[in-house]
């Protein structure tokens, strides 16, 4: 691309990013005039010896009714996108009795590492903004003796969504009732079995989905008995140099980060053949073979593959030093992992 053309394109994208920010600022003013105030959508995080990674997003959210004391009423997906992100908000994070002041990014996302002297396992932390009520979430601290962990994709790996075909993706993300979303058969059993066999193992749900659907995903995983784990999502909006954030780069960057943060942990990477998980996992396993125990790829059905725009080309892994298995659902993947010696036979 000629240099002047590339510069013009970057200018266009930067203009779009500024427009998005101005739109959010206008919506924020309108909602504040209605008496609404910001809160924090806090998501499960993780940590290691002496630190925790805290995740959340500052939003002004329209009032929603509850169906019970513990569960929101069933809603359509588009309602998740009505909230207004509050950029550069100051957030108070309480970890182990110590208050930390952090600042959200332009999209209202809080993704920061804080010092914390916590024992291995789950711990509750709290986040608040503008002296509002604190919102609790949890972080999982990985013990220094842990050598196994799970990184799992979400769309079409644990939840049937038929991504990335745009119209179908939009239907599933914006229209389908959250209680109508279906889990991939056997995947919760597979992940729960692996966690049970490896006490103290971290689970990280790494998805290209937007932070807007984070609360829905947390409820979905809990409702369908998936093991608790950190949730790493992304923001769909424009950046300074591109129209939309790259989901592939989001996954690659977080895998690299996990390898750096936990050099002694070897991960089971779980994904599907409807997006680019195979290519991302191939690159990561080639660059960090000691950080990968095995790769498990769920094969989409013929119908799901059509809805998702076709299957991606799966590389030949017969010569790989890392076990690669595939199957149609969680039960098939578990059987293949047992054959590979990654899971124990019962």
The angle at the Cα of 153, spanning 147 to 154, to the nearest 5 degrees, equals 135
248 and 130 in one domain? no
Would residue 118 count as lying in a domain?
yes
pLDDT of residue 78: 46
Question: How many distinct structural domains can be found in the chain?
Answer: 2
**pLDDT at site 163:** 53
Q: Are 103 and 195 in a shared domain?
A: no
What is the mean pLDDT of the segment spanning 59-68? Answer: 66
* Mean pLDDT of the region 133-161: 95
Statement to judge: residues 169 and 317 lie in one domain = yes
User: Which of 141, 159, 187 is at the close of a domain?
Assistant: 141
pLDDT of 263 > 90? The answer is yes
More confident residue, 66 or 227: 227
pLDDT, greater one: 233 or 166: 233
| Residues 167, 137 share a domain | no
- Identify the band that residue 315 occupies on the pLDDT scale cut at 50, 70 and 90: low
Instruction: Provide the mean pLDDT of the chain.
Output: 83
Q: In this predicted structure, what is the pLDDT of residue 130?
A: 95
Q: How far is the C-alpha of 143 from the C-alpha of 199, rounded, in Å?
A: 10
pLDDT at 230 over 90: yes
pLDDT confidence band for 28 (50 / 70 / 90):
confident
CA torsion through residues 154, 158, 163, 168, sign: negative
Q: Within this chain, do residues 254 and 158 fall inside the same structural domain, yes or no?
A: yes
The pLDDT value recorded for residue 20 is 66
In a domain, 257, yes or no: yes
Q: Please identify, among 141, 165, 200, the residue that sits at the C-terminal boundary of a domain.
A: 141
**Distance (Å, rounded) from C-alpha 100 to C-alpha 87?**
18
The single residue listed with the structure tokens 């008496």 is 35
Domain co-membership, 266 together with 250: yes
Q: At 325, is the pLDDT very low, low, confident or very high (cuts 50, 70, 90)?
A: very high
Helices 277-287 and 247-261 pack at an angle, to 10 degrees, of: 30
Within-domain flag for 112? yes
- Confidence at residue 31, expressed as pLDDT on a 0 to 100 scale: 84
**Domain edge (last residue) among 125, 141, 157:** 141
Residues 136 and 198 in one domain: no
Report the predicted TM-score, pTM, of the whole model to 2 decimal places.
0.85
Decide: 217 and 209 in contact? Cβ < 8 Å. Answer: yes
Task: Give the mean pLDDT of 292-298.
Answer: 97
Same domain, 154 and 202: yes
In this prediction, residue 317 has a pLDDT band, given cuts at 50, 70 and 90, of: confident
Q: List the domain range (segments joined by +) for residue 153.
A: 148-339
CATH number at residue 118: 2.60.40
Residue 205 CA to residue 215 CA, distance in Å, equals 13
How far apart, in whole angstroms, are the C-alpha atoms of residue 323 and residue 254?
Answer: 22
Percent of the chain, pLDDT > 70? 74
121 and 169 housed in the same domain: no
Return the higher-pLDDT residue of 162 and 147.
147
pLDDT tier at 319 (50, 70, 90 boundaries)? low
Per the domain annotation, does 197 fall within a domain?
yes
Residue 186 and residue 322 share a domain: yes
- The CATH number of whichever domain residue 253 belongs to comes to 3.40.50.1000
Does 232 or 216 have the greater pLDDT score? 232
Residue 18 lies in a domain: no
* pLDDT value of residue 103: 97
Q: Which two tokens stand for residue 117?
A: 């002297």
Residues 78 and 213 in one domain: no
- pLDDT-derived band at 119 (thresholds 50, 70, 90) equals very high
Q: What percent of the chain has pLDDT over 90?
A: 58
């Amino acid at each position: 691309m000629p240099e002047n053309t590339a510069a013009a394109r970057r200018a266009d994208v930067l203009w779009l990013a500024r427009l998005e920010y101005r739109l959010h600022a206008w919506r924020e003013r309108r909602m504040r005039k209605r008496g609404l105030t910001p809160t924090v959508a806090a998501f499960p995080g993780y940590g290691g010896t002496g630190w925790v990674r805290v995740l959340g997003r500052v939003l002004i959210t329209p009032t929603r009714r509850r169906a019970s004391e513990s569960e929101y009423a069933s809603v359509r997906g588009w309602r998740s996108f009505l909230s207004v992100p509050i950029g550069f908000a100051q957030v108070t994070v309480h970890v182990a009795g110590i208050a930390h002041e952090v600042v959200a990014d332009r999209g209202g996302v809080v993704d920061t590492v804080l010092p914390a002297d916590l024992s291995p396992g789950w711990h509750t932390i709290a986040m608040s903004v503008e002296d509002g009520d604190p919102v609790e979430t949890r972080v999982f601290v990985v013990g220094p003796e842990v050598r196994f962990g799970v990184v799992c994709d979400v769309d079409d790996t644990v939840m049937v969504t038929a991504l990335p075909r745009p119209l179908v993706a939009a239907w599933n993300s914006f229209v389908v009732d959250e209680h109508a979303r279906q889990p991939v058969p056997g995947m919760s059993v597979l992940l729960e079995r692996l966690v049970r066999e490896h006490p103290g193992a971290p689970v990280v749900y790494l998805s290209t989905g937007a932070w807007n659907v984070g609360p829905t995903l947390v409820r979905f995983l809990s409702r369908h008995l998936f093991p608790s784990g950190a949730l790493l999502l992304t923001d769909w909006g424009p950046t300074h140099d591109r129209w939309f954030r790259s989901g592939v780069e989001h996954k690659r960057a977080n895998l690299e980060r996990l390898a750096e943060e936990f050099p002694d942990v070897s991960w089971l990477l779980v994904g599907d053949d409807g997006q680019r998980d195979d290519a991302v996992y191939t690159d990561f396993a080639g660059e960090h073979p000691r950080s990968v125990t095995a790769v498990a790829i769920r094969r989409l059905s013929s119908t799901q593959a059509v809805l998702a725009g076709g299957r991606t080309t799966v590389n030949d892994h017969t010569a790989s030093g890392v076990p690669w298995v595939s199957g149609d659902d969680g039960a098939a993947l578990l059987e293949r992992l047992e054959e590979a010696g990654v899971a124990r036979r019962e």
